[in-house]
Structure formats: structure tokens, C-alpha cells
Amino acid sequence: MTDSERERYSRQTLFAPIGEAGQARLLRSRVAIVGMGALGTVLANHMVRAGVGFVRLIDRDFVEMSNLQRQMLYDEADAAASSPKAEAAAARLKAANAGVQIEPVVADLNAGNSEQLLSGVDLILDGSDNFAVRFLVNDVSVKLGIPWIYGGAVSSRGVSLTVVPGETPCLRCIFDQPPAQGTTETCDTAGVIGPIIHTVASHQAAEALKLLVGDRDRLNRKMQHWDLWYNQHAAVDVSKARKPDCPCCGRRQFDYLTAMADGDTIQSLCGRNSVQIQPVQPSRLALDEWAERWRSLGRIERNPFLLKLHLGSGQTLVLFPDGRMIVQGTDDPVTAKSLYSRYVGM
């Protein structure tokens, strides 16, 4: 380590389980964070400030005012500008630690790009907000042999689980399949308080540091549950839950990774009255040109990363350079696809 690094990380290296050798490993480590919402912002803050050498930030969304209560890297200017979360987070984090390589990726993690975006790292951290993505991450983790740390929070409750392929149960050992859409609470339907975010993400970050410095004997092998409002904590021993016939880690059947759609991927964003449309073949759209095409159709907002068209019917079309669109103001996939076809073409 350089003298500057020794000074910056001096309090962390005084912690005996890390020390200078562990800090040197952190500086060489590479981490991908899936989702830069509430959990992701806390995770990224911990990883960058701890000196993890490379951090990839993956998020499809942009900052809105309702995010600011719990998504700690953003401010009102980000919401006013509809800044992509990955880009806004990267800007804050680079100001906190210029020595870390931070790679923002404004993209929807899906079966077509997940191996590319999650490869070349030592650890995957879950900051996502839906089970479909988590089961996809689990497939990539097991296939590539990369550990990942699951985390989730809603209301005042949270959960975390560390998955080490070949050693621990994977997510499909514990949950055979994701819960049906609409059967679980979300932050947009049940609300969420900020402290549970920090509780879950800080536990994930501590497990991440153990993995990255090589102290696997200290990993928490239990699934952790918290309810901060009702003063509850439980740790469920899942160390023996690994199934030899698990479709993923047992039979190496990567259902979520190989589930390439024949047509465009259309996904209702639960609790947000929005639908995302992801074309099978990504494009490279010139947003300035599209702004001119749309100018007579409604109010336009534009930043370097996305284009918004506010329609008189109450819907807002949010177009990204790769052709992906979020249609706000409807939760009906048919309506959303019709609007996409009408204003972009399919």
C-alpha cells in the first residue's frame, strides 16, 4: 500500500481481522452491485469508502423525489434532473474516494446481459427490489462460481443471506421459485423506514468484507431477519438446507439465465403504476433526434441519459438510448406496449 492509502484506511487496518494484508486484498477486489436504490446506495457507500478497488453500479432507473427519504447518495437536484441512479451515485462516490474505480452502468439486468455485467468480479451484492432479478443473480452466481449476498427490506422488516456457491445453499435451495407477482409487499405499497435499510445493507457489507479479505470462517451461515419497529430479530440456520437436487446448484439448470423471451420483455414495476419495455435487440438511439420528433406531442424533458415525453393523456414515456422505455401512468402492459409502438415503433 502507498503512504496515502495507509493514512486513509488506518482505522480499518487497526481492526485485526482486516489488517494491512486484508486491506491490500480489498484494494485488489472487484464488486458488482445490482440495484442502486436504498440498499444499493448504502452498499456502494460502504464498499467505496472501505477501499474496494473496483465497484460496478448497475441500475435501470432514475432518481425521483420519493427516493430521497432512504436512498442516501441522492439529493433534490438529482431528482429534478431525473438523473440515472448509477450515474448520480458514481459522481458522489468518486468525490468520496478518487482511488476506487467506479463503473456506472445504466441498464436493466436481464437474461441477455447478466453474465456480461456480473462477470469479472469477486462478489455480487444484491440491492435490487424484486425476486425475478435475485433468481437471475443466483443463476449467474452459481454458474460462474461468484459469491453473492441477498438483501431485502420493506416496511420495518429486512432479511439477508450470504450465498457461496459450492459451500452454502443457493437461493433456489431455500425458495424453489419467486413468489407470484403481486403477492408480496413492496416499498411502494407498504412503505419503508430508513433504519431498516441501513441494518440490512450494513450486515451485507460486513459479510462482503469477510469474503473479500478471505475470512470465510467468520461468515454468517444463517438467514437473518429483523423487524426494527416491533423489536424482533431471528436467525434461521440454513446451513443444512442445500439440496442435491436443487435445479440450480444441484442440477445446474439455470432457468432464469436461459429464459430469453421471444419478444420484447414487458414488466410491470410493482407499486409504481409503471411498465418497463425492454426490446430484445438493444438500439443506439440519438435522444436529441427523438426530442425533436416528439416536441409537438407534449412536454419534453431531456438530460444526457434519458428523454421524457409527458403526454396530455397523463402518461409519461421515459426513453433510454438503448431503446428501453418506462411508461409511467399505467400498470397495464397492453397499454404500455401500444404507447411504445405508437411513439417509438416495434
3-state SS, 161-207, equals EEECCCCCCCHHHHCCCCCCCCCCCCHHHHCECHHHHHHHHHHHHHH
Grid cell in block for residue 311 = 403526454
Q: Which whole number is the average pLDDT over 205-229?
A: 97
Q: Are strands 316-319 and 325-328 parallel, antiparallel or unpaired?
A: antiparallel
pLDDT for the residue 180: 60
- Which one-letter DSSP state was computed for residue 128? -
Handedness of CA 125, 126, 127, 132 (dihedral sign): positive
Binning pLDDT at 50, 70 and 90, where does residue 124 land? very high
Q: Which residues contact 191 (CB under 8 A, 6 or more apart)?
A: 154, 155
Percent residues over pLDDT 90 in the chain: 73
pLDDT for the residue 158: 97
**Cα separation of 118 and 33, whole Å?**
9
Decide if pLDDT at 120 tops 50: yes
**Cα separation of 28 and 12, whole Å?**
16
pLDDT for the residue 262: 41
pLDDT for the residue 271: 65
pLDDT for the residue 233: 97
pLDDT for the residue 339: 86
What does the pLDDT look like over 300-319, one tens digit per residue?
A: 999 999 999 999 888 999 99
Decide if pLDDT at 267 tops 90: no
Binning pLDDT at 50, 70 and 90, where does residue 281 land? low
What does the pLDDT look like over 60-108, one tens digit per residue?
A: 899 999 999 999 999 999 999 999 999 999 999 999 999 999 999 998 8
pLDDT for the residue 5: 95
On average, the pLDDT of the chain sits at 91
What does the pLDDT look like over 12-38, one tens digit per residue?
A: 999 999 999 999 999 999 999 999 999
Backbone angles phi, psi at 19, to 5 degrees: 60, -175
What does the pLDDT look like over 75-85, one tens digit per residue?
A: 999 999 999 99
Task: Classify residue 278 by burial, with Cβ atoms within 10 Å: 0-12, 13-18, 19+.
Answer: buried
Binning pLDDT at 50, 70 and 90, where does residue 261 land? very low
Q: Which whole number is the average pLDDT over 214-227?
A: 96
**Cα separation of 71 and 38, whole Å?**
4
What is the amino acid identity at position 11?
R
pTM: 0.85
Binning pLDDT at 50, 70 and 90, where does residue 228 land? very high
pLDDT for the residue 260: 56
pLDDT for the residue 265: 78
What does the pLDDT look like over 145-190, one tens digit per residue?
A: 999 999 999 999 999 999 999 999 999 999 988 876 555 666 766 7
pLDDT for the residue 121: 98
pLDDT for the residue 48: 98
Binning pLDDT at 50, 70 and 90, where does residue 132 land? confident
Q: Which whole number is the average pLDDT over 202-230?
A: 97
pLDDT for the residue 209: 98
Are 160 and 149 a contacting pair, CB within 8 Å?
yes
Look at the block and give the residue holding cell 426513453. Answer: 319
